[in-house]
Structure 1
Amino acid sequence: MSLFPIIQPQAADVDTELPFYREVAWDYEKNAPIWKNGNPVMLEGKEAVYVWAWNALHTPRFRYEIYTWAYGNEAESLIGQNYSDELKQAEGIRYVRECLLINPYITDVQNTSVSFADGILTIACTLVTVYGEIDLNGDVNINV
């Protein structure tokens, strides 16, 4: 109920269309951005979303003040827990999904599997993005 019921607020124009996604190209072996002639190489579309996903999975959540609390992977919290292998896998899958689905360009994470060996979290999944599907396979060092 409004103080002045005869005055109705105008609906704001909401632009729900996402801008075309751009990200700096990444050298996954060196874990560093790729530069050419003194400038970062830029990627667009699903390749850019892949770079974002890779970096988000390799960033521990809540550790660095530069990132929001929504960014990063919480799999590190499994270190030292006396969980069964099944529970570790279930939690690992949940952490991967939560990490990736914060990005509005990623609409779903499918076929997710994780495994732990020698402090390495191995991830395999399919990202469903606004640009199409991307297979993501990689290792994250979390010392579980």
Structure 2
Amino acid sequence: MIPKLEQVNIGQDIEIIKQATRTYRLNTDRNRTVGYVDGIDAVKQAIYKILCTDRYRYEIYDWNYGFEISDLLGKPKALVYPELKRRITDALLQDDRITGVDGFSFTSQKSSVTVIFTVHTIFGEIEASREVSI
């Protein structure tokens, strides 16, 4: 049976219903999913997953999902810092629960850069970080 779709007239009000943020809880220490997570904890998990997924690499993900870092290897820090800021912001703002990303600070070691930043969400603020090899 094929469902019937009702035609929407221009000017007719459309109600948009937000989906719940409940998802499986990832236990990254044991590489398992255990239970469920919701709200700000679900957004923290989404931030972790977005920043750990190589953009354009996996066919299962949309091209807007993930974070590009592989082409920053060997680049000077003067290029890496603003590019990390732009790429992190672009990657995280694809999630509609995230309203902004700011407060970037960078520290560097010999072959890596650690960036710490603040993520503004509909549930509150989250401090996040990512270490990138350069």
What 5-or-longer segments of structure 1 have no aligned partner? 1-8, 36-40
Matched ranges for 1:16-55 at <5 A: 16-30=16-30, 32-35=31-34, 41-55=35-49
Whole-angstrom CA distance in 1 between matches of 2:22 and 2:53: 19
Partner SS, residue 55 of structure 2: coil
Residue 73 of structure 2 corresponds to residue 74 of structure 1 = no
Task: Check 1:85–1:143 CA distance in 2 against 1; reply closer, same or farther (3 A cut).
Answer: closer
Partner SS, residue 128 of structure 2: strand
Q: CA deviation at 1:115?
A: 4.1
What 5-or-longer segments of structure 2 have no aligned partner? 1-8
Matched ranges for 1:43-122 at <5 A: 43-81=37-75, 84-117=76-109, 120-122=112-114
Whole-angstrom CA distance in 2 between matches of 1:55 and 1:87: 25
Q: Name the residue aligned to 1:11.
A: 11
Q: CA deviation at 1:130?
A: 0.8
Aligned pairs, number: 126
Task: Check 1:115–1:13 CA distance in 2 against 1; reply closer, same or farther (3 A cut).
Answer: farther
| Superposition RMSD in Å | 2.2
Q: CA deviation at 1:133?
A: 1.1
The one-character-per-residue Cα deviations of 1:47-67 (angstroms, maximum 9, x if unpaired) are: 001101101001111111111
Contact 2:51/2:130 (<8 A) preserved: no
Choose 16-25 or 72-81, whichever is displaced more.
Answer: 16-25
The amino acid that maps onto 1:67 is Y
Identity %: 27
Q: CA deviation at 1:137?
A: 2.8
Q: CA deviation at 1:42?
A: 0.7
Contact 1:92/1:114 (<8 A) preserved: no
TM-score normalized by the length of structure 1: 0.75
Contact 2:64/2:94 (<8 A) preserved: yes
Whole-angstrom CA distance in 2 between matches of 1:46 and 1:33: 20
Q: CA deviation at 1:97?
A: 0.6
Higher alpha-carbon Rg: 1
Whole-angstrom CA distance in 1 between matches of 2:126 and 2:58: 27
